[in-house]
Amino acid sequence: MDFSSFLTSLGTSFVIFLVLMLLFTWLSRKPGNTVIYYPNRILKGLDPYKRGSSTRNPLAWIREAMSSTEQDIISMSGYDTAVYFVFLRTVLGILVLTGIALLPILLPVAATDDSVKSTAAKTNGTFSDLDYSYMGNVKAKSPRLWAFLIATYWVSFVTYYLLWKAYKHVSGLRANALMNHEVKLKPEQFAILVRDIPPVPAGQTRQKQVDSYFESIYPKTFYRSMVVTDNKVVNKLWKELEGYKKKLAHAEAVYAQSKKAGKPEGARPTNRIGFLGLIGNKVDSIEYYTKKIKEVTPKLELERKVTLREKQQNAALVFFKSRVIAASAAQSLHSQMVDKWTVSNAPEPRQVIWTNLKIKFYQRQVRQYVVYVIVALTILFFMIPIGFISAFTTLENLKKYLPFLESIVNLDAIKTVLEAYLPQLALIIFLALLPKFLHFLSKAEGIPSESHVVRASSGKYFYFTVLDVFIGVSVGGTLFGTLKTIEKNPNSIVSLLGNSLPLNATFFLTYVALRFFVGYGLELSRIVPLIIFHLKKRYLCKTEAELKEAWLPGDLKYGTRVPGDMLIATIVLCYSVIAPIIILFGMVYFGLGWLILRNQVLNVYVPSYESYGRMWPHMHTRILAALILHQVTMFGYFGVKKFYCAPFLITLIIPSLIFGFVCHKKFYRFFCDTPLEVALRDSKEIPNNNMELIFKSYIPPSLSSEKIDDVPV
């Protein structure tokens, strides 16, 4: 990519961002759009506009976001969101401290050498002005390489310091959360999840088996148990009934609306009862859905009784009157056999994946390994199309393999735009296909809670992005274009790959710029959700429930957001010494992300679960993994530069591994289990009437009934 294309990409991305920010300022002040730009505040019963829409200036949201405290974030969006901002702040801090030291030193050191010029003279190659500021412009064996070696050490020590500081801060946040009075009354604090229950002894029911087992171990604090059931049929009937209720409400709203718009008697809505409502007999909608509700309701009640009595599984939720006993029980070994009476912390009621609870111990182990193999194979085979895309979307290869495009591509305006955007957009679109597939795989492992599935899919997505995007793009394009050279001289592959690193830096510069300007511009303006909402409101929504469903924003989507941020962090860290200017782009990405997402979590997104910072150890580990990848990359590149002090970097990789090991041993256990000293703080036994509310909070909606207690004992 030449320098003019780079400036075009940067300039147009910035203009798009400004336009989207101005659109946000204008659209967010319209009263009809408040449900799109302030749904979190509306759901909490707060005024969307603190000072009224007429007094809000275009930069008011920036002032409000910057003045908000960590406690404001917690009160509006929970502890998980606060921990996510610790992640953003930590990476931003790493980049700021490294940028302050590296940019004033490395840029002049690289720019005043002439390796690029001499290489261009020998090979008749073309280089952009940016290439002169990269480490690639420093000659092999040059004493100037000492500056880059010391810079690598500086990046590492800054990362160690800020990661340690962040881990301690997040541990404090989690401890404060678990000692918070409201959290101490959460249902999951008084329950444990029991899986792999042995076969029922003769003469007992599953319910009696579980109750007698835990009552014998915890005679004073055991409250009761809830045996997990196979809810497949009852869920289907419940969803069918709820669907008919929604359709009936919609039909009644249409009928009421017709009375106002037309004749006083109105026009009763009709629908066809065939495939997708497109074929079949036409019937009166209100009468039809009322009849269906009357038919399904007794079936559902009957199936509830059958499910509770005859479809019990080998898993249960066990409830205790004491939070301390529940925490202790979740950490204790209850059976001499590892595959019997497996006990763990209970998920939040809204997080439970009921279909996974019945999966047996060894089946879970096998599923996990099978999923790992599938993910590894998918990563391997995804490298092929990713590398192909990164290589094929260069203009030279487009003209080579699609010659009919040559006349169009050679036009200056089109050439500049294609160079600026084509490879980056192709990569972003290709990666958009992955999240749902990885979520499905993680769920297939038998994981019991939604937050754990998000963490697992997030980890898989991180490995995809790093291995397929960072390594695939860096290596793929080079291999694709130099296959003949490698075929003639296989030993040249190391030098070719090493020399390709600086050349790919400009691609990643524009990729990061596209992500923060266009990505965060769309995030702030919420143009797509706004358009979808108004289309639904105009043509589909007739009831308040349908309207609310149309504007509900969902959560922050950590499963894709965190790996996306980690990819940027990995790219910036790995290129921070090779192409120091990328640090500025990383600072803008994480700084802008911190600001815009702060506005979004205060006003827009609604958390779907709370794990009290459980994802932090995974964030910490992946930042450290990005640092180690940076160190390995630098070791290899110093080797390409034939710098005799390159082995010194081996002594830097070892401390990184030790640092990760120490952090894991010191902090990680606290994020898996609740310490008894934390659970004990102001702990009292809960009265039975409150315990009954805790018990009922775990009843699935499809089983919720006044007769829910009618279970075998």
209-249 tens-digit pLDDT? 999 999 999 998 999 999 999 999 999 999 999 999 999 99
The answer, yes or no, to whether residue 445 has pLDDT greater than 90, is yes
Least confident range of 149-153, 392-396, 555-559: 392-396
For residues 497 and 616, membership in a common domain is answered with yes
Boundary-marking domain end, from 396, 427, 445: 445
Q: Per mean pLDDT, which of 116-125, 492-501, 693-702 is the most reliable?
A: 693-702
**Which string of b and e fits 558-589 if b means at least 16 CB within 10 Å?**
bbbbbbbbbbbbbbbbbbbbbbbbbbebbbbb
HSE (side-chain half, CA atoms, 13 Å) at 617: 20
Boundary-marking domain end, from 428, 445, 462: 445
Quote the pLDDT of residue 707.
43
For residues 416 and 527, membership in a common domain is answered with no
- Residue 525 CA to residue 597 CA, distance in Å, equals 12
For residues 223 and 255, membership in a common domain is answered with no
Least confident range of 90-99, 647-656, 674-683: 674-683
The answer, yes or no, to whether residue 380 has pLDDT greater than 50, is yes
Give the amino acid at 425. Answer: L
Kind plus residue range of the DSSP H or E element containing 468: none
Assigned domain for 356 exists: no
Residues with Cβ within 8 Å of residue 674, at least 6 apart in sequence: 178, 189, 327, 330, 345
The answer, yes or no, to whether residue 119 has pLDDT greater than 60, is no
The answer, yes or no, to whether residue 666 has pLDDT greater than 60, is yes
Quote the pLDDT of residue 133.
76
Quote the pLDDT of residue 193.
96
For residues 281 and 196, membership in a common domain is answered with no
Assigned domain for 353 exists: no
Q: How confident is the model at residue 597 (pLDDT cuts 50, 70, 90)?
A: very high
Average pLDDT for 503-510: 74
Give tens-digit pLDDT for 46-84: 888 765 444 456 678 888 899 999 999 999 999 999 999
Boundary-marking domain end, from 445, 470, 504: 445
Q: Does residue 108 sit in helix, strand or coil?
A: helix
Average pLDDT for 169-184: 87
Q: What is the CATH number of the domain that holds 198?
A: 3.30.70.330
For residues 481 and 500, membership in a common domain is answered with yes
Q: Do the Cβ atoms of 196 and 700 come closer than 8 Å?
A: no
Quote the pLDDT of residue 710.
43
Average pLDDT for 656-676: 93
Q: Does residue 205 sit in helix, strand or coil?
A: coil
Quote the pLDDT of residue 713.
38
The answer, yes or no, to whether residue 409 has pLDDT greater than 80, is no
The answer, yes or no, to whether residue 9 has pLDDT greater than 90, is no
Least confident range of 100-109, 280-289, 413-422, 680-689: 413-422
For residues 318 and 395, membership in a common domain is answered with no
Kind plus residue range of the DSSP H or E element containing 275: none
Start-end of H helices in 124-205: 145-179, 181-184
- Token digits for 123? 């090979």
Average pLDDT for 149-170: 95
Assigned domain for 174 exists: yes
Quote the pLDDT of residue 656.
94
Assigned domain for 267 exists: yes
Assigned domain for 224 exists: yes
Tell me if the pTM is above 0.95: no
Quote the pLDDT of residue 647.
84
- Residue 31 CA to residue 182 CA, distance in Å, equals 34
For residues 281 and 384, membership in a common domain is answered with no
Q: Return the closest-CA partner of residue 621 out of 587, 584, 671.
A: 671
For residues 220 and 252, membership in a common domain is answered with no
For residues 626 and 479, membership in a common domain is answered with yes
Long-range contacts at 169-172 (CB < 8 A, ≥ 24 apart): 169/86, 170/83, 170/86, 170/613, 170/616, 171/667, 171/670, 171/671
Give tens-digit pLDDT for 310-347: 899 999 999 999 899 999 999 999 998 889 999 999 99
Quote the pLDDT of residue 711.
43
Assigned domain for 216 exists: yes
For residues 129 and 223, membership in a common domain is answered with no
Assigned domain for 24 exists: yes
- Indicate the average pLDDT of the chain: 83
For residues 517 and 647, membership in a common domain is answered with yes
Q: How confident is the model at residue 382 (pLDDT cuts 50, 70, 90)?
A: confident
Quote the pLDDT of residue 540.
86
Least confident range of 282-286, 501-505, 594-598, 617-621: 501-505
Quote the pLDDT of residue 255.
85
Least confident range of 119-133, 282-296, 376-390: 119-133
Which residue reads 């479809």 in tokens? 311
Average pLDDT for 573-601: 92
Domain that holds residue 216: 187-231+311-347+683-710
Q: What is the 3-state secondary structure (H, E, C) of 302-353?
A: HHHHHHHHHCEEEEEEEEECCHHHHHHHHCCCCCCCCCCCEEEECCCHHHEC
Quote the pLDDT of residue 121.
46
Q: Would you mind telling me the total number of residues written for the chain in this entry?
A: 713
Number of domains in the chain: 4
Could you tell me what percent of the chain has a pLDDT over 70? 81
For residues 200 and 259, membership in a common domain is answered with no
Assigned domain for 354 exists: no
Q: How confident is the model at residue 367 (pLDDT cuts 50, 70, 90)?
A: very high
User: Which residue did the predictor score with more confidence, 121 or 370?
Assistant: 370
User: Which residue did the predictor score with more confidence, 9 or 371?
Assistant: 371
For helices 493-514 and 3-27, the axis angle rounded to 10 degrees is: 30
The answer, yes or no, to whether residue 296 has pLDDT greater than 50, is yes
